[in-house]
Structure 1
Amino acid sequence: MGKIRLTRRGALSLLPALMGRPARGETPLGVPGLYVADPLTALALRGFDPVSYRLGPTPAPGVETHEFTWSGLVWRFASAANRGAFAHAPEAYAPRLGGFDPEGVAGGRLVEADPLVAALRDDRLYLFRDADRRKRADMTVIDAAEARWPLLRSDAALGG
């Protein structure tokens, strides 16, 4: 009989299930809503500091020593002060639309976004799949996405 070997990639793909985290391709659910997370680490924003989007031209990477768990995900911060600000008002700093691309949400789809392609609109953080989508996202698209998000979020939470 032949031996069955588990490759490193195969072993890594099992980690989320063993740790009670969603597997690749599944959407992590949290409270109060849905947020995009790295499928292997369950880190929100791929580990970037959500507060830093408001402090400079590019987001700062968070560090393991400044973590906070909210909405079922681990959020990392560049400093204790940023962690404290987020802990005080997470909804103010977390990306809108669960971190999904507004153009996709407006069209009724959960399209993953890149945390390095972001914009603040009306003092709210939005993430986009790519720079072209960010350029196209005027307030009409944002408003349509915001209007569609509650229904899309509840459908996704129900597995629909």
Structure 2
Amino acid sequence: MGKIWLTRRGLLSLLAAAVAAPARGETPLGVPALYAADSLTGLALRGFDAVSYRLGPEPLPGSGAHEVTWSGLVWRFAGPANRAAFAAAPEAYAPRLGGYDPEGVAAGRLVEADPLAAALHGDRLYLFRGVERRQRAGPALLEAAEARWPVLRRDAALGG
């Protein structure tokens, strides 16, 4: 096998690509991924079944055999019934605040959330950055985040 040499030009190209590439979990504009999407696969909730959050203590992993595309992302489900329920009313099952952490949204920032740090408040699903944030989230925080969300959503869509 021959040796592979990296030229100065090749090294500079790699460096430029690394600087331009978004961080994991972020869009090309540097905004954390909507609906906790996996940046490599484009799967919403990193492949977890959005309907299953309402059916048990832990979300179920979705299957490639049961997918639907909504809001520009692929959503996976554990079975055809969950897929059909989501397809009929996606906004009822998708996480609130675009899947961003409510504490961050309330503070005016789009903070990536973990689909395994989720909680239902009433009939609304929220994702949090971590378990600690989920534990300290109360009605006042969620109301503040909901109030701030329309402006953050608009600004993120405009790239600013």
Structure 1: state its 5+ residue gaps.
none
Matched with 2:5 is 3
Question: 1-side partners of 2:28 and 2:95: how far apart?
Answer: 15
Following superposition, the deviation at residue 27 of structure 1 comes to 2.8
Change (3 A) 1:59 1:66: same
Q: Which runs of 4+ in 1 moved over 4 A?
A: 22-25
Q: Rg bigger for which structure?
A: 2
3-state SS, counterpart of residue 118 of structure 2: strand
Matched with 2:153 is 153
Question: 2-side partners of 1:38 and 1:113: how far apart?
Answer: 11
Matched to 2:126, the amino acid is Y
Matched with 2:40 is 40
Change (3 A) 1:147 1:59: same
Aligned 8 A contact 1:119 1:134 in 2:
yes
Matched with 2:83 is 83
Change (3 A) 1:97 1:28: farther
Following superposition, the deviation at residue 103 of structure 1 comes to 0.3
Matched with 1:116 is 116
Matched with 2:139 is 139
Following superposition, the deviation at residue 135 of structure 1 comes to 1.0
Aligned residues: 144
Aligned 8 A contact 1:49 1:78 in 2:
yes
Following superposition, the deviation at residue 26 of structure 1 comes to 3.5
Matched to 1:89, the amino acid is A
Matched with 2:53 is 53
Change (3 A) 1:52 1:25: closer
Question: 1-side partners of 2:26 and 2:120: how far apart?
Answer: 27
Structure 2: state its 5+ residue gaps.
none
Aligned 8 A contact 2:99 2:126 in 1:
yes
Q: How high is the TM-score relative to the length of structure 2? A: 0.82
Matched to 1:68, the amino acid is V
Q: RMSD over aligned Cα, in angstroms? A: 2.5
Aligned 8 A contact 1:28 1:35 in 2:
no
Matched with 1:68 is 68
3-state SS, counterpart of residue 75 of structure 1: strand
Question: 2-side partners of 1:24 and 1:129: how far apart?
Answer: 14
